[in-house]
Structure 1
Amino acid sequence: MLDVLSEGFKEAKLKLKGKAVLNESNVKEAIDAIRKSLLEADVEYSVTKNFLQRVQEKALGQEVALRAGKGDSRVAVSPADHFVMICKEELEQLMGPVNAELNMAVNRPTTIMMVGLQGSGKTTSTGKLAKYLVNKDKKKPLLVAADIYRPAAVQQLKVLGERIGVPVFHKEGADPVTICKEALQKAFDLGCDVVLFDTAGRLTIDSALMQELADIQSATKPDNVLLVCDAMMGQDAVTTAKSFDERLSLSGVIMTKLDGDARGGAALSIKEVTGKPIKFLGMGEDLDRLEEFRPEGLASRILGLGDIVGLMQDFQKVAEEDQEAQALKLLQGQFSYIDFYKQIEMIQKMGSLKDLIAKMPMQDMIPKGANIDDRELTKVKAMIDSMTKRERIGQDNLDRPRMARIARGSGRPVKEVEELHKRFTAMRKMMGMLGKNMGGLLGKIPGMGTLGQMNNMRKAASQMGQMPGGLGGMGDMGSMFGDSASKPKPAFDREKQKKMRKAAKDARKRNRK
């Protein structure tokens, strides 16, 4: 996601690395790198031009503070850091300000008209928005199947309605305007307080489509008109948004398939060109994967800074049990394969691994082109599924014959089972030692315990990082993705370096004679 954009900003930061000041020459190099990535990402040309002009003016027009923060929290700030923060501010301004609120009616059902081209994910987004309103605002939505042209469109909406537990209205043989008008009365009869019209789309914008949508708008006077827009369309998405807005006066945009687009130019262009805010992002097929659009979060991800707020929101959506109790078990070294299995399931509910890792503030640690494969989690679950209950809770030791049986049951090599168990055991041991130290830490705040305990923890962490392949998540970031570049550097041999310098010095003396 957004790989093309991120690479340009990363290259710009590298060009400024080690520079003492921001001047016209080095800022121009950084700007050129960003310009290339913005255009490759299909950001609209005038948007690119204006954005870069604002960044350049700020970078050259401001004095770079060498330190930031106050008191003990003051840290050194480089010109490269200063440039990145200027880019972040301008990206947020380009896509914002944030406005995810919907216009809610008083004393009658709120009406939301969903429009867009065919294939943009409109029907799925209608179901996602209904579930979002149920979970967030405790609303009682009614879904209206007004797309009478696309095969199985009505049935698809009925299936979505059944999955989220909300009613769906449709009238066979009726035209879309009549269906939408009669749906308003049906909402009163069922006690629903939100009505979502899933209207028809076309492969391209034509006069018949626009007239039908205008007639529905005139007949129902919706409180919100939301355009569902496919991010993978690039600049065509911006053109589409302009056409719909001119005829229907949009309230906002739901951007879909951003997780499947390495460019992401539409997300940067659409607000600037149309003046209408992106209200939601649709990420993936799952009905929970609709999130309020946060310009600061997307800007941080583009710049490789991660998005901790977004990550915590994902976690809160799927956290069902007492997470404090789970954390305590982990710190006491009582973490079992059953607990680990639950954690994997929770991660899978939060979305794809690639999307989650993109929200973590450690992008520089991830090797370029790393293969982040969700199937690794499925393989681990298969191995745990093949264990007995006693093996999962640690009552039966996993010896060689047991591992061979688990490997046969899960369809994985014995070596992968061994690596899984070694890493899991090392992690549990390390967390157990951390938990012991935390007991004294809370009362006395003397540090992290004795030097011997810390050495043991370091050894355990080292064992986790050095074990090859397999788990994807318990070693260092490089080994997670099987990258050889993350191997530990050889120890610095001071005596050897001293001898080499002396030999070079002697050679220079001989050459001078």
Structure 2
Amino acid sequence: MFEYLRNKLDKALHLLKEQNRITEINIVSSLKEIGRALIDADVNYKIAKNFIRKIKDKSIGKKVLTSLNPKQLIIKIVYDELVLLMGGKNPNIEINFSKNPKNPSIILICGLQGSGKTTFASKLAFFLKKKNKTPLLVAADIHRPAAIDQLKRIADKVDIPVFYLKENKNVLSILDKSILYSYKENRNVIIIDTAGRLAIDQFMMDEIIKINQHVHPHETLFVVDAMTGQDAINTAQSFSKILNFDGIVMTKLDGDSKGGAAITISSVVKKPIKFISNGEKIEDMEIFYPDRFANRILGMGDIVSLVEKIQEQFDEKKTKKIYHKISKNRFNFNDLLGQIQHIKKIGNIKNIISMIPGVEKYFFPVDQKHSFKKMEAIIHSMTYEERENPKILSDIKRKKRISKGSGITLSHIDLFLKQFDDINKIMKKINTNSGKNIVKDFIYKMMNKENSV
């Protein structure tokens, strides 16, 4: 996410590294590269030009403090402008809920077909469930035959109910009955997954307007595919003229998107980005904080979001149990396997690394999932006795059998076993509540290209 733009901006700002003051001459090359980076990332030319002009106006003649260098000063100016462009430091990203606790809050999800509406609706329901809400998903797409099955398949995995009527083709009737059902089942949030189209057409717009007028949603979210670039912005603009939605959701930011749409859509459409989707798993969704994402774009990390993700997965009982086993020197391969699953639950490893300042450059373009898969393959090839008693794996016959079963070379098996002592030490940090060095230490040890499995 934003990897392309981050690399380009880093290259542009590197040109100022050896300078001791800012002049109109030495900043020209950097500004030119920054502008090129923005345009290459699919930022509108006029917006990129205006962005560069603002940086130039704020930097030329600026007195550089003795504690800073020109590069650091420009980074600060670029950061401030990025935050403004993406919605400011305090955007209105809160979801609007019903003011009457007796009535369910209604959230309307809309957008084009293929933008990721159905998947996002499920992710939002899961997100709200973790916030102690009781969501109900409503399958209101009566035009796409597989829409109901898709929504139900995703929601069933996390035990979230879906209201649907396959034989009913009257969308307003479905919505009325879903609201009655929510009262009956004590569901306090209704998330409506509406139909999408391949393009904005009158039929689609008429239907969504009728739905909006009929249910009077407390929150309307417009979903756009980040990979469509400037088309995402054009679609949002066209939609906003007909339906006054409350916020934008950017999906597929984990794909080949260069991030330009995410950077500029809010300033063009005059609506905040409220959520982004950055992975296939149901937990791969984040609230969009412009200041935090500006930090990520400039390679300065996002420790606040990282700690929040860790805290979501923190299990005090399991932590105490693991810590006790480590202290008694009884930490085994079953425990390690459980901790690998724990780390993976925090989120997409690639996104996690981008949250840690200065670490990302040591890992890309490494395949972050590869090391985890190797470790899991090795452990799954062990017997129960071997998993519980790591010391018996000094036997060469056992190691050869594990090597054959996992498809991992014997030398890598030896390396993995040598690392196990280090893992015991690292796990002490993983199972503390501070969270500061959790991912940094663990991933560094386990994914270093030259020193790990």
Residue by residue over 1:226-263, the C-alpha shift from the partner in whole angstroms, topping out at 9 and shown as x without a partner, is: 01111111111101111111110110011111111340
| 1:362 equivalenced with 2:358 (yes/no) | yes
Partner residue, 1:10: 10
Residue 48 of structure 2 corresponds to: 48
- 2-structure distance, mates of 1:429, 1:204: 55
Percent identity of equivalent pairs = 37
Rounded Cα–Cα distance in structure 1 between residues aligned with 2:427 and 2:149: 50
Shift of the 300–326 alpha-carbon distance from structure 1 to 2, 3 Å rule, reads farther
Instruction: Indicate yes or no: 2:202 matched with 1:211.
Output: no
2: CA distance, partners of 1:427 / 1:147: 49
Q: CA contact under 8 A between 1:2 and 1:302: conserved in structure 2?
A: yes
AA aligned opposite 1:234: G
- Once the two structures are TM-superposed, the CA of residue 223 in structure 1 deviates from its matched residue by 1.2
Q: Secondary structure at the match of 1:204?
A: coil
1:173 Cα deviation from its structure 2 partner: 2.6
- Residue in 2 aligned with 1:160? 154
**TM-score, L = length of structure 2:** 0.89
Structure 2 counterpart of 1:11, which letter?
A: K
Give 1:479's aligned amino acid.
Answer: E
Name structure 1 gaps, 5 residues minimum: 68-76, 435-464, 466-470, 483-513
Q: CA deviation at 1:3?
A: 2.3
TM-score (norm 1): 0.79
1:66 Cα deviation from its structure 2 partner: 1.7
Cα distance in structure 2, aligned partners of 1:350 and 1:110 = 28
**Of 301, 306, 312, which aligns to 1:311?**
306
Identify which of structures 1 and 2 has the higher relative contact order when contacts are C-alpha pairs closer than 8 Å and 6+ apart.
2
CA offset digits 1:477-498 (Å, max 9, x no partner): 563699xxxxxxxxxxxxxxxx
Instruction: Provide the rounded CA distance (Å) in 2 between the counterparts of 1:204 and 1:348.
Output: 37
Q: CA deviation at 1:4?
A: 2.1
Which residue identity lines up with residue 181 of structure 1 in the other structure? D
- Shift in CA distance, 342/321, structure 1 to aligned 2, threshold 3 Å: farther
1:347 is matched with: 343
**Match for residue 414 of structure 2?**
418
Q: Please tell me whether the aligned partners of residues 473 and 480 of structure 1 are also in contact (alpha carbons under 8 angstroms).
A: no
Q: Which residue of 2 aligns with 1:95?
A: 86
Residue identity matched to 1:162: D
CA distance in 2 between counterparts of 1:196 and 1:262 reads 27
Q: What is the aligned counterpart of 1:82 among 48, 73, 76?
A: 73
CA distance 1:316–1:57, change in 2 (3 Å): same
Equivalent in the alignment of 2:99: 106
1:340 is matched by which residue type in structure 2? Answer: L
Between the aligned partners of 1:63 and 1:46, the Cα distance in structure 2 is 29
* Partner of residue 278 from structure 1, selected from 273, 288, 301: 273
1:281/1:412 Cα in 2 relative to 1: closer, same or farther (>3 Å)? same
**Structure 2 match to 1:494:** none
Q: Using a 3 Å threshold, how does the CA distance of structure 1 residues 473 and 20 change in structure 2: closer, same or farther? A: closer
Amino acid at match of 2:248: V
CA shift in 2, pair 1:379/1:476, >3 Å:
closer
In the TM superposition, what are the counterparts of 1:197-346 in structure 2 within 5 Å?
197-322=192-317, 323=319, 326=322, 335-346=331-342
CA distance in 2, matches of 1:234, 1:35: 17
Deviation at 1:332, TM superposition (A): 7.8
**CA–CA distance in structure 1, aligned partners of residues 271 and 36 of structure 2:** 26
Structure 1 residues 229 and 365: alpha-carbon distance in aligned structure 2, compared to 1, 3 A threshold? closer
Residue 122 of structure 2 is aligned to residue 127 of structure 1: yes
Could you tell me which residue of structure 2 aligns to residue 60 of structure 1?
Answer: 60
Q: 1:243 to 1:78 in 2, by over 3 A?
A: same
| Aligned 8 A contact 1:238 1:266 in 2 | yes
How far residue 431 of structure 1 moved from its aligned partner, in angstroms, is 8.9
**1:395-444 alpha-carbon deviations (Å, 9 max, x no partner):** 42423222111112212221211111122235547999x9xxxxxxxxxx
The one-letter code matched in structure 2 to 1:93 is L
Answer yes or no: is 1:479 the counterpart of 2:447.
no
Amino acid at match of 2:335: D
SS class of match (1:391): helix
The aligned length equals: 435
SS at match of 1:254: strand
Tell me how far apart the structure 1 counterparts of residues 263 and 283 of structure 2 sit (CA, whole Å).
24
In the alignment, residue 105 of structure 1 is paired with which amino acid? Answer: S
Higher alpha-carbon deviation: 285-294 or 251-260: 285-294
For residues 426-465 of structure 1, the aligned pairs below 5 Å read 426=422, 428=424
Q: Distance in 1 between matches of 2:325 and 2:15?
A: 46
CA distance in 1 between counterparts of 2:262 and 2:373 reads 32
Shift of 1:472: 6.8
